[in-house]
Amino acid sequence: MLVRHTRFALAIAFLSACKSNAPPSSSQANRGGSQAPPTVIPADVSHGEARIGTAVDSAPVDPTPPPRAREHLVHVRFEIHDTLIEVSKGVRYHAWSFQGRVPGPIVRVTQGDSVDFTLVNHGTIPHSMDFHAAQIAPNKYYINVTPNDSLHYRFVAEVPGVFMYHCGTAPVAAHIANGMYGALIVDPRAPRPPAREMVFVQSEFYMVPDTTSQPRSLSWDRLLSLAPDFVTFNGRSSQYATHPIRVKVNELLRLYVVNAGPNRFSSFHVVGGIFERVFVDGSQASPLVGVQTVSVPVGGGSIFEIRLKQPGEYPFVTHAFADATKGAVGVFKAEP
C-alpha cells in the first residue's frame, strides 16, 4: 500500500508541477494540438502509456511471420498503390503502400537462397525498391519505376538477419514516411531453436495539422523537424496495447525488430524482462547476453530473445518515451 500511495502522491506532484508547461495528452499530440496538461489521472499500472485492452480480440496487424521458407527460389511480387490507412483510431492517412499494407508484407527466406523480385507501380509517381538483405549495385537495380510500369530483379540472400526493405526514390524520407517499408527475415541455414516469433516494424508518421476527420497527409516540415504525430509498431498506434499479445510464461519469445524510421532511433525494451540474447543488427557473431535495452538504429533490425518469468502484463516500448507516448508501445500478456 505504501508504494501505491507514494506513486499516487508523485503523480499528483508531477501534475501540479506541470500545469503551466505540461506535455499534451497523446491524443492532443497526435492531432498536432496546443500544449495542454493531461486531463486524466495516470493509469494505475506501470508504463501505462496507452490503454491496455483485452487480449480476446486480435490487433489489426498480426505480428506473426510466415514459416521458414521451403523453396530455394522465393518469388516476391509487390504492387504499389496509393492507399488510405488508419494510423490510429479515427485517424486516416494517405499512404503509399506495398500490397496495400503498411508495413508491407513480411518476406522470409533462408541464407543462400534467391529472391526473385517484381515491383509493379500502380501509384501516381515513380517508386523503387531497396532491399537491405541484398548486395547488389543500387544504380542498376534500385531504380525508379514509373506509374503503370514494372521492374524485375534477383538477388541472393547471403547474410542471415532481419533486414529492412524500402522505397529508395528521392526524397527517401517522404517515401518511407508515407509507408513504403517492411521487414525481410533471412534465416540461418541451421535453424534457430523453436520459439514464438513476432515481427515489429517501428516507424513514424508526420501529419499536416487538421482538426477535421478528413484523411491526413505528410507534413514535410514536421518530418524535417523530427516531430512525429505517431510512432508505431507495425503501422498502427498502440495496437498491441489495446490488443495485448498473449504468450506463455517461460516460453522463448523471438522478436524481430526493424526500425524503418525515417528518423527516430528505437530503444527497444521489455518492461519486467531482460533479454536472454540479442543478435545486434541481426549479426550471428557475438550476440549480447543478459541486456535490458538495445537501440535499433533507423534502417537496422535486431533479433531479441526473451522469456517472461511470471504471469502478468509486460509492456514493450521504445524507451525514448516521447515516442512510446505517441504509440510505440505494446503489451505481452503472459499466462501460465
Residues interacting with Cu ion, by CB under 5 A?
Answer: 127, 167, 169, 175, 180
Residue 76 three-state SS: strand
Of 123 and 160, which CB lies nearer to Cu ion in the complex structure? 123
Of 31 and 175, which CB lies nearer to Cu ion in the complex structure? 175
Of 177 and 186, which CB lies nearer to Cu ion in the complex structure? 177
Rounded CA separation 179/74 (Å): 24
CB of 175 vs Cu ion, minimal distance in Å: 4
Buried b (16+ CB within 10 A) or exposed e, 66-84: eeebeeeebebebebbebe
Of 167 and 298, which CB lies nearer to Cu ion in the complex structure? 167
**What is the pairing mode between strands 73-88 and 130-131?**
unpaired
CB of 84 vs Cu ion, minimal distance in Å: 17
CB of 96 vs Cu ion, minimal distance in Å: 6
**Cβ neighbour number for residue 173 with a 10 Å cutoff:** 16
CB of 123 vs Cu ion, minimal distance in Å: 7
Rounded CA separation 124/190 (Å): 43
**Residues in contact with 180: Cβ distance below 8 Å, sequence separation at least 6, in sequence order:** 80, 96, 97, 98, 104, 127, 166, 167
CB of 129 vs Cu ion, minimal distance in Å: 9
Of 95 and 317, which CB lies nearer to Cu ion in the complex structure? 95
> At 113, which amino acid appears?
D
